Chain A
Amino acid sequence: MDAGLLAQYVMNGLMLGMMYALVAVGFTLFFGVLDVIKFSHGDVLTVGAFAALATYVGLRMLGLNSNWLDLVVILVVATLAMAFLGMAIARYLVMPLRSAPALNTLLITLMLGTVLRESVRLFYPQGANPKPFPALLPRASIDLGTFNLRLDNVLMLTAGVLVIVGIQYLLNRTKLGLAIRAVAQDEETARTMGINFTAIVLATFALGSGLAAFAGVMNGLYYNEINFGIGLYLGVVGFSAAIIGGLGSIYGAILGGFLFAALQTIGTVMLPFASAYKDVFAFAVVIAIMAWRPTGLIREKISERV
């Protein structure tokens, strides 16, 4: 295989991995503070992507024609809208069920995911059809032999890295981050230290859901097409990535996301049989990893989560 092709595969894998990682980080954050698995996370991503698309359509109707301005506005609107949606889900669905078995939360968010997905399909105009997503990033590309290096991919990867670094900074260097980590570590103690538990949980859900919206917009910009089903698959993959990384660990989630993308790419490229089996391959490896390290690649230290 020549270097150009290899570079192309690596680029594809990185883009895919970045989206998986952003979703996985959300799963890990929610699990960190509340010990719940929120299965509607992928569908929040879908709603975020559609919110961005609707905002874009609205902006065009207002006669705004600057790509950069559009991009900033749709990102802000989608992220804020999903942050609110995430808070609402936490406040009205997840928190009231805190004393119920964890299975109930899992079930209720699973059903909420279906509601969100079907709502997009039914209520977005012609929501059952694939929708073109505008290409707002510069379309320049350099052909390096068989490798087509696109500026928009580089920008998206950079933005993804910045977001992840930002999250790290937020969690490790700010007061809010300290509070989130405190709640994750021990809710009771955190409360007695004067931390507003409800506010912290809501903030965490806002953060995770905002990330999902970011991933949704990135998904749209990368593929230039969105549909009501994108979140379902990304949710399953993101969840698996969070689990293999070690649920509760941010680094684990990121590692898991990129690992899963690498497995899928390898599954398509290296395996002699048809690419139809790439998911079988990737998930089989995930099962093997789970058998080998049941608590994930990055083991949770007893007291530290997030």
Chain B
Amino acid sequence: MSTTPKFAALIAALVLGVASGAADAKDKVKVGFIGPLTGGVSVNGIGGRNSADLAVRLRNADPKSKYEYEMVVLDDECKPNVAVQVATKMAADKDIIAGATHYCSVTAIATVDTYHKFNFPVIVWGAVLPDITYRNKYEEVHRVNGTMINQNDANAELISKLGYKTVAVIHDTTDYGKGHNEYFSKALAKIGKVNIVGTFGVTADQQDFTAELTKIKALNPDVIYFGGLTPIGVRIRSQMDKLGIKAAFDGTSGIVSDAYIQGLGPLAEGTLAFREGAPAEKLPGGKFFMEKYNAQKYDNPPEAYGPFAYAAMDMILDTIEKVGPDRKKVIADLANVKDRDSIVGKITFDDHGQNTVPVITKYVVQDGKFVEWDDSDYASGKRKLPGQK
């Protein structure tokens, strides 16, 4: 069986050679891409698809590349059941050597076993749940973007640096909120300067937080950390004000959205938030990426994770160029990625295939916009967060 891909490639090359009549035709190699191309988060999936496509096009245009690449695109709809089907379809096709897969955490975590079973090397380009790389130790699964662990490390570090002493945690009781609570608490404990005075789990559609917030008011923390999504983030921030709580409000990637600012108006001012990744123009290779991307005239922008999809696909193509179109060799080579240059910065995979030097962007709301912390009036000292020394 192991000779089949080569044999198929040979046939393909022969057919191609005959068809085109060109003696120097390159071998064709297939690579895969999976993302949510339909449904609520499809803008992100399409941005990722275009970015991965860009990596393939640029490679095919390069006269020095050894193979001609073809990208097979499948849609996981951000649904776990669909994702397992398309992942199986892709992994079972021996002609496809490797794939850049998944934006949604639910689909990425649902498919890791499938990739492992078929020995199909993948690089996750968007999903942030730590378990995707850390629950198992699958040599097939890698990830170029950061996880909520990295995001919370950055969060804890900033809170500690600002001189705050106490924090109360509110999180929703989904896996997402619980994960944030866990990793934020761990990160704070590691630094050891800030104490958590209370932790409150709330349901993801709760309306009234006055009881929890009154309890928090009695604890009088410097900061209220919130691990959850925009709708209840808006409610908590607004009810804090009603109860006269002056603490700083510290959120996660879940509230980085225009809806948060629209829902709160001036009250949003001074809210902290953190997100994996960075706007394309802030990335090391961002300028190059945007130029090339715009030159292709795609219908949609790359969105926040496009550069990561590009980096994931580019790494796959690099590896195939180096070791040839063979899944086992690709996996072996991806196990030793260290300080590899990419448009999102240096990439180093740890023993779980997780990039350990991911980009995290710190945000603060200033004048009705999420502004990068380092560029803000708060970092320069012109304005002060509530309770900031």
Binding site for B on A (CB under 8 A): 1, 5, 8-9, 12-13, 15-16, 126, 129-132, 141, 143, 146, 148, 150, 222-225, 227, 229-230, 232-234, 264-265, 268-269, 274-276, 278-279
Q: Is the CB of A268 within 8 A of B215?
A: yes
How far apart are the CA atoms of A150 and B239 in the complex, in Å?
A: 13
Known contacts A130-B234, A130-B259, A276-B173; A148/B208 CB under 8 A: no
Q: Which residue of B lies closest to A13 (CB)?
A: B211
Known contacts A12-B210, A146-B218, A278-B211; A223/B238 CB under 8 A: yes
Known contacts A229-B205, A230-B207; A150/B242 CB under 8 A: yes
How far apart are the CA atoms of A126 and B260 in the complex, in Å?
A: 13
Check B214 for interface membership: any CB of A closer than 8 A: yes
Contact among B173, B203, B214 for A9, CB-based, below 8 A: B214
Minimum Cβ distance to chain B for residue A153 (Å): 8
Minimum Cβ distance to chain A for residue B320 (Å): 42
Known contacts A230-B207, A275-B200; A225/B217 CB under 8 A: no
User: Which of B65-73, B126-134, B261-269, B322-330 touches A?
Assistant: B261-269
Q: Is the CB of A16 within 8 A of B208?
A: yes
Check B201 for interface membership: any CB of A closer than 8 A: yes
Q: Which residue of A lies closest to B265 (CB)?
A: A132
Q: Is the CB of B207 within 8 A of A276?
A: no
Q: Is the CB of A225 within 8 A of B243?
A: no
Known contacts A12-B211, A268-B215, A276-B173; A143/B244 CB under 8 A: yes
Measured between beta carbons, the chain A residues less than 8 angstroms from B215 are 268-269, 275
Q: Is the CB of A225 within 8 A of B203?
A: no
Check B5 for interface membership: any CB of A closer than 8 A: no
Check B271 for interface membership: any CB of A closer than 8 A: no
Known contacts A5-B214, A264-B211, A265-B211; A130/B201 CB under 8 A: no
Measured between beta carbons, the chain A residues less than 8 angstroms from B239 are 223
Q: Which residue of B lies closest to A227 (CB)?
A: B231
How far apart are the CA atoms of A8 and B244 in the complex, in Å?
A: 11
Contact among B201, B202, B263 for A131, CB-based, below 8 A: B263
Check B367 for interface membership: any CB of A closer than 8 A: no
Considering only CB atoms and an 8 Å cut-off, how many residues of chain B contact the other chain?
30
Q: Is the CB of A148 within 8 A of B211?
A: no
Known contacts A12-B210, A130-B235, A148-B244; A276/B262 CB under 8 A: no
Q: Is the CB of B263 within 8 A of A146?
A: no
How far apart are the CA atoms of A141 and B203 in the complex, in Å?
A: 29
How far apart are the CA atoms of A222 and B208 in the complex, in Å?
A: 10
Q: Which of A5, A230, A276 counts the most chain B CB atoms within 10 A?
A: A276
15 A-B pairs within 8 Å (CB atoms) are namely A5-B218, A16-B208, A129-B230, A141-B244, A146-B218, A148-B243, A223-B208, A224-B238, A230-B207, A233-B205, A264-B208, A264-B211, A268-B212, A275-B201, A278-B211
Check B185 for interface membership: any CB of A closer than 8 A: no
Check B60 for interface membership: any CB of A closer than 8 A: no
How far apart are the CA atoms of A222 and B235 in the complex, in Å?
A: 11
Q: Which of A9, A132, A148 counts the most chain B CB atoms within 10 A?
A: A132
How far apart are the CA atoms of A141 and B241 in the complex, in Å?
A: 12
Q: Is the CB of A129 within 8 A of B262?
A: yes
Q: Which residue of A lies closest to B205 (CB)?
A: A229
Measured between beta carbons, the chain A residues less than 8 angstroms from B200 are 274-276
Measured between beta carbons, the chain B residues less than 8 angstroms from A227 are 231
Q: Is the CB of B218 within 8 A of A275?
A: no
Known contacts A148-B244, A150-B242; A16/B205 CB under 8 A: no
Contacts A12-B211, A132-B262, A132-B265 known; list 20 others, CB within 8 Å.
A1-B218, A5-B214, A5-B218, A126-B262, A129-B263, A130-B259, A130-B263, A131-B262, A141-B244, A143-B244, A146-B218, A223-B208, A232-B205, A233-B205, A234-B207, A264-B211, A268-B211, A274-B199, A275-B215, A279-B203
Q: Is the CB of B203 within 8 A of A12?
A: no
Q: Which residue of B lies closest to A4 (CB)?
A: B218
Measured between beta carbons, the chain A residues less than 8 angstroms from B218 are 1, 5, 146
How far apart are the CA atoms of A123 and B305 in the complex, in Å?
A: 30
Measured between beta carbons, the chain B residues less than 8 angstroms from A13 are 211
Q: Is the CB of A146 within 8 A of B217?
A: yes
Known contacts A12-B210, A129-B262, A129-B263; A223/B202 CB under 8 A: no
B227-256 residues at the A interface, CB under 8 angstroms = 230-231, 234-235, 238-239, 242-244
Q: Which residue of A lies closest to B242 (CB)?
A: A150
Q: Is the CB of B244 within 8 A of A276?
A: no
Minimum Cβ distance to chain A for residue B141 (Å): 32
Measured between beta carbons, the chain B residues less than 8 angstroms from A1 are 218
Measured between beta carbons, the chain B residues less than 8 angstroms from A275 are 200-202, 211-212, 215
Q: Is the CB of A130 within 8 A of B231?
A: yes
How far apart are the CA atoms of A9 and B216 in the complex, in Å?
A: 12
B178-230 residues at the A interface, CB under 8 angstroms = 199-203, 205, 207-208, 210-212, 214-215, 217-218, 230
How far apart are the CA atoms of A229 and B259 in the complex, in Å?
A: 16
Measured between beta carbons, the chain A residues less than 8 angstroms from B173 are 276
Q: Which residue of A lies closest to B241 (CB)?
A: A224
Q: Is the CB of B207 within 8 A of A223?
A: yes
Minimum Cβ distance to chain B for residue A64 (Å): 20
How far apart are the CA atoms of A227 and B264 in the complex, in Å?
A: 13
How far apart are the CA atoms of A225 and B235 in the complex, in Å?
A: 7
How far apart are the CA atoms of A233 and B243 in the complex, in Å?
A: 23
Known contacts A8-B217, A129-B259, A130-B231; A225/B238 CB under 8 A: yes
Measured between beta carbons, the chain A residues less than 8 angstroms from B211 are 9, 12-13, 264-265, 268-269, 275, 278
Q: Which of A16, A141, A227 counts the most chain B CB atoms within 10 A?
A: A227
Minimum Cβ distance to chain A for residue B348 (Å): 38
Q: Is the CB of B235 within 8 A of A223?
A: yes
